[in-house]
Structure 1
């Protein structure tokens, strides 16, 4: 089993209708399926994650329970929470890839060139970052 990785930076979307635990669960599932956390990696303890993110212990605990229920992690009593070596983790859940595929296809159908799509995404991300900074 591998050592615990540091808690990645994560900001909650306070304007979202999704509860904090769901946002955290979704972010952690993405970190697992994208390869940031690899099968066998030990996740930070619930208490450490809660302290690092400055959120309630129960919020992190609920996110971890959701990840375990969905097969992303396994809890080893007395040792911690580890990323599962399951098919779901190796291949990802496919939702994000499907969203990206749909987006790219839609752009192409609108007449955009493939080279223009990354610029569009970059511009959108920068605009959202500026809006997020204004809200702080």
Structure 2
């Protein structure tokens, strides 16, 4: 069974997050979103490294992080496979926790639920503009 092509995405050298963390987070997102299904074989470390033009060790470290977090399982001699649902945090893990805390903080500040997405959109637009100006 052939593995899916690696979807295009960009890793940022300017990010405060190491490349392996960016890659791990992106792959966790792809698993959580259903792009990679439970039981599906992931591309090899070498393929990811070659396609993304990054070091083999960077991809290997991202895979180890995914395995440690329960997203994938390595089968010696066969490859890396997406774990069954429930074996990993389905709703985005850390990002969901951060959003929940953010919403709670906004509510404690007296904001209405309907105003929170507007605030987030405003900041996203601002950050996009700043990023595009670089």
Q: What count of residue pairs does the alignment treat as equivalent? A: 134
Q: Please, which moves more after superposition, 53-62 or 25-34? A: 25-34
Partner of 1:95: 94
Q: Measure the CA separation in 2 of the matches of 1:133 and 1:54.
A: 23
Q: Measure the CA separation in 2 of the matches of 1:109 and 1:6.
A: 45
Partner of 2:61: 62
Q: Measure the CA separation in 2 of the matches of 1:90 and 1:11.
A: 24
TM-score normalised per structure 2: 0.80
**What does 1:1-136 align with in structure 2 at a 5 Å threshold?**
4-85=3-84, 87-89=86-88, 91-92=90-91, 94-135=93-134
Distance 1:90 1:109, change over 3 A: closer
Q: By how many angstroms is 1:90 displaced?
A: 5.9
Unaligned stretches of 5+ residues in structure 2: none
TM-score normalised per structure 1: 0.79
SS in 1 for 2:80: strand
Superposed CA RMSD in Å reads 2.4
Runs (4 or more) in structure 1 with deviation over 6 Å come to none
